[in-house]
A and B are shown apart, each in its own frame.
Chain A
Amino acid sequence: MRTKTLWLWLALLVTGLALVAAGCGGDDDEGGDAAGTGATTDGGGTKAANQEITINWGTEPPSLDPGLASDTTSAAILLNIMDPLVLLDEDNQPQPSLAESWDISEDGKTVTYHLRSDGKWTNGDPVTAEDFEYSWKRTISPDLAADYAYQFYGIVGAQEYNGCEKSCDALADKVGVNAVDDQTLEVKLTSAQPWFVQQSAHTSFLAVHKATVEQFGSKWTEAANIVTNGPFKLESWQHNNSIDLVKNEEWRDADSISLTRVNGRMIEDATTSVQAYEAGEIDVNPNLPTEEIARIKETDDYEKYTSLGTYYYGFNMKNITDVNQRRAMSLAINRREIIDNVAQEDQLPTTGFTPEGMPGFDAINPESKWLPENGDMEQAKQLMEQVQNPKTNITLLLNDAPGHRDIAVAVQAAWEELGIKTTIKTQEWAQFLEFIGPPPDKSVDVFRFGWIGDYVDAINFLELWTCESGNNSTNYCNEELDRLVDKARATADNDARYELYAQIEQIMLGDDGDMPIAPIYWYTSSYQERDSIRETFSESLLGQVDLRGVEVRE
């Protein structure tokens, strides 16, 4: 073949491809156009004609079975396709949803939900209290092996049923969940738990449609099979690719829903997410890479939400035994600098463990003097000198997600000034979890960790530090703290309980506190949002996006 012919082929191929790509440009085959970008509106825009949006769920939900869902993506979708008993408002107080009212007995141990009569499944069946009894017992059952079964342990008989190994059906009947009639659900608790109704807003407490589950087994959540009862329907689910929702016109309150369709992509890579947003392919992006946040903050698309979560460094108290050393190490950390220059998401510097935004925060927050916003190197050094046998060779263990290493390096430099040589070790997630146990591996002196709230009460944060807690990897054990936690669990009155929480925070991080951890910041959540939905779109403290209130405006 002559060279010229080869050239010709090459040129033809390239030109052909370019022409084809350019010529067919502009045609968007992927469902729903992105909502119009339009000019900036200052509040009170008018409702647009096109009420379709495209969002990025971020990743494939591991399961859309409420009994098995244990992550935020599944919860985000379930919140919108199902009808919970209660919904949390901006103050995180429970508001009626499928339950139009509820009574709590004098002793606080019995909660009775009164269900609306117009709840309906997408196949026409009415939603009844039996659905909830069935679903809750199913989640608690040992056969389902649900991760979140522990959420129900506050209910009489639940822990026993869940831990049963054989002949378990008898124990199922003893669980304190009972459908008195079609519209009445009675729950018996092991003790007064004032946050129970709030907690029942969680996805684990959603009902599933019994006949569908029994017919399709583990495949009941596929789009072709699933039966739901919420404001949106799951129209299609292409695994690891997309989940599309459409408005459920039969829903009991369908008139209040503006959105007609929600197309959901699953773009895990943060950089691609940003590019998809900026190319107009998606209208909301929750997935921002740390390096780009500084740039995106300057744009009009940026939005920040507070989250209920604490980022902290935990001490292995068996290795770093002197409380003054732990206090010194905490004092040395300049949280403001880390937030402004390293993490860069406008996080909040911690002044205690329980995050801001938690009800009762003002009463609970210890404003610990060991957690100064800008650090206090002088005092840290002084304290360090008082330590008899300081541990000067420290191993700091991190998991390998982005961002942790940069923060660790900043902290390493701070501890250097105290005469502490820090070795940073990074491990992948599953390995990391094995190392911190509890109990933490001998080689671990300090580890990075975080806690995101399950529900909106401080007990969720403070009970982590009891002696037996499976989430306490610090070897910290203070019986007084345990006693206070138990007492708080039995205290119905909010103010009295907040007072107990305040005492717990003092025990941990107060002036004479034991300092098992050095909290660093309280999480925030960053988004890119189009002007057309900015007014109505928001993420709750628990990381939930409720599409019920979202409306596309011009």
Chain B
Amino acid sequence: MTKLIIRRLIWTIPVILLVIFMTFILMRQIAGNPFRTSERAIPVEIQRNLERKFGLDKPWYEQYWQYVQNVATFDLGPSLVLRNRDVNDIVKEHFKVSLELGALSFLFAFFFGVLIGALSGLRANSWVDYTAMFVSNVGYALPSFLVATLLIYFFALQWDVGLPTSGWDTWQSKILPVIALGLAPMAAFARLVRGTMLETLQQDYIRTARAKGLRWRRVVGLHVLRNSMIPVITAAGPTLGFLITGSFVIEQIFAIPGIGRYYVTAVTARDYSVVMGLTVLLAIIVILANMVVDILYGFLDPRTRDART
């Protein structure tokens, strides 16, 4: 297990270097002036001053090396567009918001997803199953921004239940965004659990367990659920990554000060340092999430453990 982890961690370095390189090349390929934000053209002198200030007048390989150094020393430089902020500040202040939003949405999706999926699986082809699957299909099909707007319209505006339309300070303000973001993954989890459950329930060892006289509750709790979790865990890793990074739309609609908003805005604005810094950060998150998933695998499914070592 330790060997696995160490190997994984060492592999992270070349991956990160590749990510930096690709992001660097791609950002330079899409033409655009990070300093021209409005319709006003920038006088030549000022353009030169700005390029000099941010090191953009140096040759590309010097700039690239500078970025690599920045990442290595965890000093990601100043933002080109937000002139009083450093990328590190942006990450420190806003990443935790996205992390919280992503984690809460994940928990919501996981908890309700497994619950609904299990119910459907156990009562397959009953009205319970059909309703649950219908609801989760709708949740999956509706785009998150539509769900978000509808939730705000009904719960924050029309029905006076004390939920605000936007923001991220009180615990009430966290409910709607978490639901909006977590609905689609919840549906996905529900389907996965249902499917695996149905399959597991057919297995011989379940029949053996029942034949042994084990109570149904124990059979389900111990054997069925645990084995049904595996595809969920598989999906969970990238889902968590997606939730943290893909929360841009939800953050935009609910005016949540997370990292997603900064990321997309930075690309449009050609804010090279912010884009670079955030891409590296998110790459690391995805890598870590996948690593955690792989380790969990080992615990959940002994078969993979043996195959690996």
Contact = CB atoms under 8 A, between A and B. Distances in A.
Interface stretch (B77-85, B227-235, B284-292): B77-85
Contacts of A266: 255, 257
A65 B32 CA distance: 25
Nearest to A3: B122
B304 interface: no
Contacts of B86: 218
A450 B35 CA distance: 18
A145 B53 contact: yes
Chain B interface bracket (under 10, 10 to 19, 20 to 34, 35 or more) = 35 or more
A82 B34 CA distance: 28
A267 interface: yes
Nearest to B149: A271
Given A65-B84, A68-B84, A150-B43, A2 B217 contact: yes
A388 interface: no
Contact of B165 (A240, A279, A429): A279
A118 interface: no
A62 B115 contact: no
Interface stretch (A19-27, A347-355, A415-423): A19-27
A452 B221 CA distance: 66
B123 interface: yes
Interface string A471-494: 100000000000000000000000
Contacts of B38: 70-71
B26 interface: no
A357 B33 CA distance: 33
Interface string B96-113: 000000000000000110
Nearest to A10: B115
Contact of A13 (B85, B112, B255): B112
A362 interface: no
Interface stretch (B63-71, B169-177, B200-208): B169-177
A3 B123 contact: yes
A11 to B, nearest CB: 10
A162 B45 contact: yes
A143 interface: yes
B84 A272 contact: no
B52 interface: yes
Contact of B221 (A1, A22, A147): A1
Contact of B39 (A10, A438, A449): A449
Nearest to A62: B82
A145 B52 contact: yes
B168 A241 contact: yes
A27 B83 contact: no
Interface string A33-66: 0000000000000000000000000001011110
Contact of A62 (B36, B81, B152, B170): B81
A239 interface: yes
Contacts of A144: 49
B214 interface: no
Given A3-B123, A63-B84, A143-B53, A21 B162 contact: yes
B67 to A, nearest CB: 20
Contacts of A13: 111-112, 115
A512 interface: no
Nearest to B43: A150
A241 B269 CA distance: 20
B293 interface: no
B94 A1 contact: no
Given A7-B119, A272-B255, A275-B157, A64 B84 contact: yes
A30 B46 contact: no
A65 B83 contact: yes
B31 interface: yes
Contact of B37 (A7, A26, A70): A70
Contacts of B35: 147
A93 interface: no
Interface of B: 30-46, 48-50, 52-53, 78, 81-86, 90, 93-94, 111-112, 115-116, 118-119, 122-123, 149, 152-153, 156-157, 160-170, 172-173, 175, 216-217, 220-221, 225, 252-255, 257, 261-262, 268-270
Given A1-B221, A17-B175, A62-B82, 4 more contacts: A70-B38, A238-B257, A241-B167, A275-B157
22 contacts: A1-B225, A6-B115, A6-B118, A9-B115, A21-B161, A30-B169, A62-B83, A63-B82, A70-B37, A218-B86, A220-B84, A267-B166, A272-B152, A272-B166, A276-B164, A428-B268, A429-B268, A430-B30, A430-B33, A430-B268, A438-B41, A451-B39
